[in-house]
Amino acid sequence: MMHAQFDPIARQALAAAAVEAKIAKDLTWQQIADAAGYSTAFVTAAVLGRHPLPEQAATAVAALLDLGDEAAALLQIIPTRGSIPGGVPTDPMIYRFYEMLQVYGTTLKALIHEQFGDGIISAVNFKLDVKKVPDPESGERAVITLDGKYLPAEPF
């Protein structure tokens, strides 16, 4: 049976413990994702408290990080989502994404609506990928792919 979490404190504590274990064991997010059997972005988000993991994946991650059975069970619970309490983010990396949406949000909205019509991009039926690519002019670039299902607005 799926359960939902309403108090995010336990999941935040688990995320902190998982990151500490990741550092202590000198693991990468890719290695943790490989153990779970899902994409790096999905597993990272799950370990950081944004998604539940299926039982087998949760058990594998908890074992890899030596977190125990209680952590494996908690990793399976649907979390309370949302990661920017208090408004505008202050972490420079997260703020830059906020800034990108401030600058390009209306452009994205206009282009998506022109191509698809009225609706939204799903954050549930969604894929995320981050790649480092060489750039002869600036050294390295980050290529971020946001791939979400389009959901049309329906009159009712």
Amino acid at 56: Q
Kindly list the distances between the CA atom of residue 104 and the CA atoms of 55, 67, 86, 116, in Å, as whole numbers in the listed order.
39, 41, 22, 18
Q: Are 56 and 27 in contact (CB under 8 A)?
A: no
Q: Which one from 20, 55, 70, 99 is the annotated catalytic residue?
A: 99
Structure confidence at residue 120 as a pLDDT band (50, 70, 90): very high
Q: What is the C-alpha to C-alpha distance for residues 61 and 32, in angstroms, rounded to an integer? A: 6
The pLDDT of residue 81: 79
pTM value is: 0.81
Q: How many CB atoms lie within 10 A of CB 120?
A: 14
Tell me whether residue 154 is one of the annotated catalytic residues: no
Q: Give the residue, 89 or 119, on which the prediction is more confident.
A: 119
Structure confidence at residue 88 as a pLDDT band (50, 70, 90): confident
Q: What is the C-alpha to C-alpha distance for residues 23 and 31, in angstroms, rounded to an integer? A: 12
Tell me whether residue 81 is one of the annotated catalytic residues: no
Q: Which one from 122, 138, 140, 141 is the annotated catalytic residue?
A: 122
Q: What is the C-alpha to C-alpha distance for residues 146 and 119, in angstroms, rounded to an integer? A: 16
Average per-residue pLDDT in the chain?
92
Q: What percentage of the chain carries pLDDT values higher than 70? A: 97
Tell me whether residue 96 is one of the annotated catalytic residues: yes
Once rounded to an integer, what is the mean pLDDT over residues 73-78?
94
Q: Which one from 55, 70, 96, 141 is the annotated catalytic residue?
A: 96
Structure confidence at residue 84 as a pLDDT band (50, 70, 90): low
